Chain A
């Protein structure tokens, strides 16, 4: 009964979202005032409905209702309860419901936290958001219904959740990512409504900014968790693979960063209005495009989703409708008064312009590399290619360099025209000192210097000094610092820390594949690696061969456990990497093949500073979250 109930509620939600997507527009544009509804009440109702529907799906998982096809495909009696719960969003159907729930949550936030006297404008934003929510609900019900039953004879047991998803980071990563993606709905709806209402740039930018910052914060966290998960769960120690799915999240992230920087300029100076509108549309479009690429299965990716061309077409139709529709409005709208504040080459405005140019061109280049295999296939009659990771690395480097150099000086610039560049010598000297200090620390820690890491480390020092120095220079009181500069300091310093992490990891990482039998040892860098023992273990839903490998660098012994698990229901094998993590380096070991009787192969790695990548991302997320929240207080 419960699944039917959830299904029914989802249908009611669909109908109400259609009402929400049409009625307010009739009221505003055809002036049918008698049809006026309370958008506050409707947004709360929609949210409650989708939550109930989602809860019924969770319930079906928790009680092992394998007559529900989605549960049967993604759960199992022996799956630990926590993973049964998380399996709800472990595959396509359930994650869509979560996605719709996230969109509804953002919409409620927008309705309740936006203080505008223009009720018609708010109603229009609400209505456009409801249209997107309606489209997603329709998509879910018609192509990906999570409540579909297997009747009359339901299976006795489920097929199990993909073992590599049975993991803590995985359970948190998708919700954060979906919240990030779906949050971009609000800036999109605001941008379209702003065009329809010919809103003043400063006004609509102030509505849009907090939501863009919050989405960006969630996207950052979601991407960082995904990277962390891939690092230990896929078992091979990489933290970014330039897989199409990763790019599909990275592109909207870049655009959302570009967007909130552009919105700062729009809100403060009234310029870049049209540009901010276009960016809002494309940030939203790329978040949909990502969904399309991931779930239509047209690109080779490590991310497995049940693939179905019909679904791909449906998402493409949604994407086309909203993007073409909003671009049409853009092209036929007369924007009315556009502010024309003047700015010089040395101005903050021009800094933001460069920032946006770099971020957007970078996003386009990454998008191009990601979909190029499709273009190539179409033009050569089915010849298949892939674009290797080096492509993306070659592209990223000059852009990161330019963005980093800009970021170091950006906070010193003034609106209109910067009068003095006296900060430059000091910035240069201090960042060179920090740079030397980091190099010295690296030399002490690892007895080695790699020239290849110098550029990134200098860049990081430059960003860090540029971020911290300005705070000192402004001579703010402690309280004022917290109020005014904390968010930007967190975010920009986070970028510096991430940059150090990337630079050191890519130059100082060591790896080796070895063959050992129990008791054997081998030398690796300054470590003595010893294969201590191997035992059979029994988990709740798997059996495992678990090996203890010790690392000894002369000062202390670390025993690390790595497992080769065989999950019982599916027979799928996974490798659980063993990691001894600390701030300066990770010791990483993953068990390979059993060559004969007790002889095993292992992959051992030393990953210096890898934690800094995720630590930096965390700071960026906190920074943009604080910046977003601060925008609410201001009004």
Chain B
């Protein structure tokens, strides 16, 4: 084979193998690490396995935050102004977590209908609202 063609063939083979491997990697990594977002109303309707990691969110209901006095357990309610969802979390909450503020949590929906959060994301500054929550308020507000 002519050396120039050979050289192009090498490059082509490298690109093909590379992109095939990358596609396979992307698809498999994505299918395992895609977290769907649910509003409290959607959670009521959806059928979600206890082991599937999901995200949920809404506004923290006024007066619903119960902090334990001797452990890091916290329980609070998020609402989309139609339905509510009780969230349990063990850990230190972000500084901007508060009543009547938007919040997104990541974790699992338990069979009793409560949510066990492994991560709580509050908004990052006073004016910022997680887009998911902003859309909820727009839709139901």
* Chain A residues within 8 Å of B, Cβ to Cβ: 162, 164, 235, 297-300, 302-304, 306, 340, 342-345, 350, 353-354, 357-358, 361-362, 364-365, 368-369, 372, 376, 382-391, 394-395, 398, 513, 515, 564, 570, 572-575, 592-593, 595-596, 599, 601, 603
B135 CB, nearest partner CB in chain A, Å: 8
Is the beta-carbon distance between B14 and A304 smaller than 8 angstroms? no
Is the beta-carbon distance between B35 and A388 smaller than 8 angstroms? yes
Say whether B70 faces chain A, with CB atoms less than 8 Å apart. Answer: yes
Interface residues as binary, B32-68 with A (CB distance below 8 Å gives 1, 0 otherwise): 1111110000000000000001010000000000011
Say whether B113 faces chain A, with CB atoms less than 8 Å apart. Answer: no
A413 CB, nearest partner CB in chain B, Å: 14
Q: With A394-B29, A572-B125 given, is the CB distance from A513 to B92 under 8 Å?
A: yes
The size of the chain B interface, using a CB distance under 8 A, is 46
Q: With A365-B26, A398-B25, A595-B67 given, is the CB distance from A385 to B95 under 8 Å?
A: no
Is the beta-carbon distance between B96 and A384 smaller than 8 angstroms? no
Q: With A365-B22, A385-B37, A391-B30 given, is the CB distance from A297 to B125 under 8 Å?
A: no
Is the beta-carbon distance between A385 and B125 smaller than 8 angstroms? no
Q: Which of B96-127 contact A (CB under 8 A)?
A: 96, 104, 123-127
Bound: A299/B35 CA distance, A: 14
The residue from B33, B67, B95 contacting A387, defined by CB atoms under 8 A apart: B33
CB-defined contacts of B3 to chain A, threshold 8 Å: 342
Is the beta-carbon distance between A515 and B71 smaller than 8 angstroms? yes
Q: With A164-B125, A513-B91, A595-B67 given, is the CB distance from A361 to B29 under 8 Å?
A: no
Question: Chain B's interface: helix, strand, loop or mixed, by majority?
Answer: mixed
Q: With A386-B35, A390-B32, A595-B67 given, is the CB distance from A235 to B95 under 8 Å?
A: yes
CB-defined contacts of B22 to chain A, threshold 8 Å: 361-362, 364-365
Is the beta-carbon distance between A601 and B72 smaller than 8 angstroms? yes
CB-defined contacts of B68 to chain A, threshold 8 Å: 595
Say whether B141 faces chain A, with CB atoms less than 8 Å apart. Answer: no
Q: With A513-B92, A592-B92 given, is the CB distance from A386 to B55 under 8 Å?
A: yes
Q: A353-B14, A369-B29 are known contacts; what are 20 more A-B pairs with Cβ within 8 Å?
A: A304-B128, A368-B26, A372-B30, A376-B34, A383-B36, A386-B34, A386-B35, A387-B35, A390-B33, A391-B30, A394-B25, A395-B26, A398-B25, A513-B91, A515-B72, A572-B96, A592-B72, A592-B92, A593-B67, A593-B92
Say whether B140 faces chain A, with CB atoms less than 8 Å apart. Answer: no
Is the beta-carbon distance between B25 and A358 smaller than 8 angstroms? no
The residue from B4, B18, B37, B104 contacting A340, defined by CB atoms under 8 A apart: B4
Q: With A385-B36, A391-B30 given, is the CB distance from A298 to B131 under 8 Å?
A: yes
A330 CB, nearest partner CB in chain B, Å: 18
Bound: A384/B124 CA distance, A: 20
Bound: A494/B74 CA distance, A: 44
Bound: A385/B36 CA distance, A: 4
A558 CB, nearest partner CB in chain B, Å: 22
Bound: A630/B34 CA distance, A: 46
Q: With A365-B26, A388-B35 given, is the CB distance from A304 to B125 under 8 Å?
A: yes
Is the beta-carbon distance between B14 and A595 smaller than 8 angstroms? no
Interface residues as binary, B2-38 with A (CB distance below 8 Å gives 1, 0 otherwise): 0110010011001100110110011011101111110
Q: With A361-B19, A391-B30, A573-B95 given, is the CB distance from A300 to B132 under 8 Å?
A: yes
Bound: A564/B128 CA distance, A: 21
Is the beta-carbon distance between B10 and A304 smaller than 8 angstroms? no
**Can you identify 23 A-B contacts, CB atoms within 8 angstroms?**
A297-B131, A342-B7, A343-B7, A357-B18, A365-B25, A365-B26, A369-B29, A372-B34, A385-B37, A386-B55, A387-B35, A388-B33, A388-B35, A389-B33, A390-B33, A391-B32, A391-B34, A394-B25, A513-B92, A515-B71, A564-B95, A592-B72, A601-B72
Is the beta-carbon distance between A385 and B34 smaller than 8 angstroms? yes
Is the beta-carbon distance between B14 and A354 smaller than 8 angstroms? yes
CB-defined contacts of A353 to chain B, threshold 8 Å: 11, 14
Q: With A343-B7, A593-B92 given, is the CB distance from A390 to B29 under 8 Å?
A: yes
